[in-house]
Structure 1
Amino acid sequence: MAFTLAIIGRPNVGKSTLFNRLVGRRVALVDDQPGVTRDRREGQGHLFDLEFTVIDTAGLDDVNDDSLEARMRRQTELAVRDADAVIMMIDARAGVTPLDQYFGDWLRRGEVPVLLAANKAEGIAGEAGRLDAYSLGLGEPIALSAEHGLGLDELYEFLNPLFPEAEEPEEEEEEFGLEEDRGPLQLAVVGRPNVGKSTLINKLLGEERLLTGPEAGITRDSISVDWDFKGRPIRLVDTAGLRRRSRVEDKVERLSIADTKRSIDYAQVVVLVLDAGLGLEKQDLTIARQVEEEGRALVIAVNKWDACEDRQGTMRAIRDRLQRSFPQTRGIPVVPISAREGRGLPRLLDAVMAAYEVWNKRLSTGLLNRWLEDVASAHPPPAPGGRRIRMKYITQARTRPPTFAISCSNPTDLPDSYLRYLENALREDFDMPGTPIRMHLKKPKNPYVS
């Protein structure tokens, strides 16, 4: 039975630092600037022999309107509702504030077990604040230092009795021949700020899981959410909007951009979301090139299609610019959608699954060599200095993305234009649109040279 622990508190008390420590790696963005965390982030936490889901939340503010802060608070309230236990953190060095008092009263009225943690309590500077925390009426506060790992023993003593009794696992008959579980498909949603990335994921999930609104740049952390599509587990990753580097001045935004780039690195398929009203701009092409350079499968979603007046012209312009500016990866799927209304999402997901299959495609060596003989006969390689380059052998070295090794005489003399010819023929003949293809040339060894 899964156990869920939510970490809450006002801004800048160290919630994300504790989250990172329990998860065991630096996942959540951490900075001295308050309000860095906005969405609730989930991770797999470990504390000695306990394993649980831990939720990092935005800093609590006493607001109930339609502002961004109020929407952040509602996300935290949902996290508390779904939790089996809550850690309320205060800043021991700052002492108990009126905001701490307000939310302490709110937690006391609930039924979820609460541990009060006075963070930043290392040394004697935080002792007065820890003692002051008794006034919140949430029991004995523990002295915690999330940064230095102090107080985790007390946290374990609080959590351990709350865990359900472990059941004896039933013995299962061993089965053979089953397909190896490849794990969830890692699907990252990227794009410029305010193009509708979070709205798209919320619509797929069927709930307001991620913060959305008219403000640009709401998402800062890359937030992953597990989901299921037609029986296929998918890990959706919402990312911060990527602007041109020259426009980025804020330190937190730089951290967010680095986090987004890591999400692309670990993704298997990337959905690049465009605004139909703006089309395919230079920054979108920069993002697409990053995805291609990392060897990830790419699908383009043209969002806000419901508000697009010249649909044929918009789609033609996007495809033409892709052809001119991004010829190295032909056949990238372009799907018009409306994330707000849910239109086009089945087509988008079908394109994602198709791109994933192409990305994993493996071709037999015999088939590849018959193909190489045909294409080299139809369009022979050049003959620099009067000696024609001979294409001897091809094999697929790996998948994800498809990578091929070609043995040929004088590989350094083979021009890039001929490699592009081979790549385009490979895409067309074996139905591999959109995905990056890697080709490596090597010269065969002379068996008579020791």
Structure 2
Amino acid sequence: MRAHYGKVTAAFAISALALTGCSAGGDSSGGGAEAAPCEASEGPVELNFTTWVPGMDQVVELWNEENPDIQVTVQTGPNGNSGTYQNFFNQIQAGNAPDLGQIEYDALPNFRVQDGLENIAECAGVTEAADQFVDWTWGQTTFGEEGSVYAIPQDSGPMAMYYRADLFEEAGIEVPTTWEEYAVAAEQIKAEGAYITNFPKTDVNWFAGMVWQNGGQWFANDGESWDVNLTGPESEEVATYWQDLLSEDLVSTLPSFSDEWNASFNEGQQWTWVSAVWGATTLSDGAPDTAGKWAVAPMPQWEAGGETAGNWGGSSTAVLKGSEHPAEAAQFALWLNTDPEALALANELGGLYPAAKSATELEAFAGGVEFYDGQQIYDVFAEASANVDPNFTWGPTMTQTYTDVSDGFGAAIGGSGTLLDALSEGQQQTVDALTAQSIPVQE
């Protein structure tokens, strides 16, 4: 597992920044902030960049070799929700944050409402770069605010369905193209002594990707306050669907990314995995005995003939509040996420699937993949990325929301309540968390 940023392992404490709302740069509802002038610094510049992507130091070496007057030092930390985000908040408050930090899309609103990001819209080349990125990823970094750019898209996690082509063929079971067909296949696969998939109770952002595909929205912001809606009809449909599969024991409930979970794939006990593009290496690393037996197809659809896809994961490169060199930091962030050599190396060493549109032209994504019997699987993910709704909005307290909903999912799996109950309770807890941080919430 090299590029999985989805699993929430710990909730970070509420930063003191949240208690004061945003400073002059914005307001606590997440409204627009005027971009400050972005002028180049005089003389040599040294930047610090914190990330958790393996091999990023080698990628940055490419930049340092070509840019002797703007040198970047890489600091490697744990996954964002496992400590790096809390470190960022502490450092921002203390005035010693790194110039640049890796921040997942679902965590960006939290930094935004706490005034932890520099608006780099006025930095050279930033707004002009919008068309170089998949539309929905650029939207994640601007929050729909005119004249605002708070980060540069780094990677994304468009979703599709990995499936054991050999097992489906041997059992004479049709590969599902709709969620209705998926439920039927689940019953047929259970009769074969296996499961169609695993329900990941701790990966609430996987579940959010399912809601995203179904056209749902968990959050909205009108520039003045937040609307929280974890229980809309689209969410309810997804929750009811997976609750039915759980109630009928048609899906397993193993801890995600555990040795036991990997073994279930390696031993043919899991026939599909609806997951993100980064899951390609997760499967090949965790289930090596199944090489050549997997294939990739679009996500099952709620309506036959549909083409919608969800997203799970993905990060940006943000210039953190207080950087003394925002112009140079923005310049580096643009290079990191658009330069072909940098993108290729970040994929090779860190498993990143770039948010840049040019990713489809990279050799790493152009040919067949041996583990998937030579299938050009990245064509499927490129199509999925183009079919992700660009208007999905994350809320400003996603880590807490994930934790609360995950607790409810665990209770539902244990027979206490349902997935929909978990969403309902998570919604109330999210509203309470926003209110406690003086972040306006719509009635």
TM-score w.r.t. the length of structure 1 is 0.22
Of Structure 1 and Structure 2, the greater helix share is in 2
Structure possessing the higher radius of gyration over alpha carbons: 1
